[in-house]
Structure 1
Amino acid sequence: MPQFFLNKRLIILLVSVIVLVALIGFSLRERDSITWPEQFVKDMVGFGQSLVSKPVNYVSGVVDNVQDLQNTYTENEKLKTRLDELVKLETKVRDLKQDNSELRGILEKKEDLRSYNTIQGTVIARNPDRWQELLTIDKGEVNGIKSDMAVISSAGLIGKVKSVNEFSSTIELISTNNTKNRISTVIQSKQDINGWIEGYDTDKKEILVKRIPNDMKVEKGSKVITSGLGGVFPKGLVIGEVNEVKPDQYGLTQTAYVKPAADFYHLEHVMVVERELKGVKTDEESDKEGEEQ
């Protein structure tokens, strides 16, 4: 016999390979049921996996719980700190309100630049060609609406009343390019800075606040509100925040590009602001009334 067949180890290896290939081919066939050796092996492997996975999952869950406790403790400490600050702030606000009330009582002053009432209105018409300029609401003269009243949304100032009919009013948005639509503003910084809304940048979709003195430093992110000095709008109506500041072409004043707080595109419900403290009439208004009389 050849020397190859006399080597028992090679014969055993060859037979093992043949059996293994046969078993693999047999196991790969599509069958409705599996043999008892396969079932036995699967059961043993599944049992072993369960023995290993349960302790591992338990340890992993314990580690996660410890981490959650640590995170909860850290957040709790932060919340306690903020709660203490909130209590101090509420106490300070309460004291300031009391002082303000007492001082107003001494001065017998019941109104200020911030006092106003609101008249709720619903947008009933909007011209697609002038979407960023005008809209119509369902409130008019019978509801106490007058020209030049400020109009706000829940987020902030959106414009003013341009014209009034008996049962409806036309609102001119501050996103219009009408440079005559001027509104006195205050930029809240370390030092309050006055300016005027004069136009709107349609490309950047930002309000232009002009006539800012060149020696005033306007910080990005500063809040912009109405000043109440224009004689029509009350003080404190939110306009937006400063996104960029540029000097004018002559370098004498600055222009602030303000990101509006209100969304001029989606407007359904608005509020017309009726100022309690009446402004002083200008010379032009007095002369006009004299001519009418």
Structure 2
Amino acid sequence: MSKGNKQHRTGDKKLANSLVYTVKERTELLSFLLESMPNRSRNSVKSILTRGQVTVNDHIETKHNYTLHPGQTVTILKNKAAVKESALIGMSILYEDDDIIVINKEAGLLSIATEKEKRQTAHHQLMEHVRREDPQNRIFVVHRLDKDTSGVMMFAKSEHVKRKLQDNWKEMVKERTYAALVEGKVTKEKGYVSSWLRESSTHLVYSSQTKNDGQHAITHYKVVRSNEDFSLLDVQLETGRKNQIRVHMQDMGHPVVGDKKYGSKKNAIRRLGLHAKVLSFNHPTTGQLLLFKADVPKSFLTKSK
């Protein structure tokens, strides 16, 4: 390793399918990667970034000029691992059977395709995953997580199972808990927010206290830990509306960290402070109660100490 490299990173490790580096001084991501992989061309390094093979701490990062800070961990999924049949980028499978797949999604990965991005999504990768067994296999979206929200997410393997889950969601889902890192000290130990949500033409969801003025939404919260600057909350959804937690945290005067769209002034963890940590439901076919957890990101815990 050259002296230039040593200035930027320390404690480098080689894992079976990835390279892990610790950032030592402030720099931009592309520059860091070029120094970390001196044997690769600039275009090769750029394509590794574009394909979503690079994570910073606990989120996928594709921006070339993303600013790295001392102490952050940069993980690069090796090319061979990325093209291997079994490799999933930005997600891992927690559970799979003939009816459902449950994943742990990283922040930065789209749940489903958009006009701009068709392939680098959880849905597309899982579709490829099940079609290796049988080209006729398919994956169906049951619910969604925002691109910048991490955590537990479920997909169905048939239209029938998807319908059953969606039509009986309130009865079948027993727990859906999020970890939310919000700005400021939440003084009330627990409580709830109730309002009617509407979406503007610019796709901004807003709250109304006028009865039936939109979709009714109820969010319960409990403070896990807090300091003067940040609070870590356990948030449970009684209803599952678009951007519900984000809007209700703004209503409380404690927007989700990094959520500029809904009132956040700080981006202390350089990602959205929202993570789906528990999903518990009755299996759509067997009726068995299943529970899945995804660890709360370390950055949420550090900031709320």
Shorter-chain TM-score tier: under 0.3
Larger Rg: 1
TM-score (norm 1): 0.25
More strand by share: 2
More helix by share: 1
Q: With CA pairs under 8 Å and 6+ residues apart, which has the higher RCO, 1 or 2?
A: 1
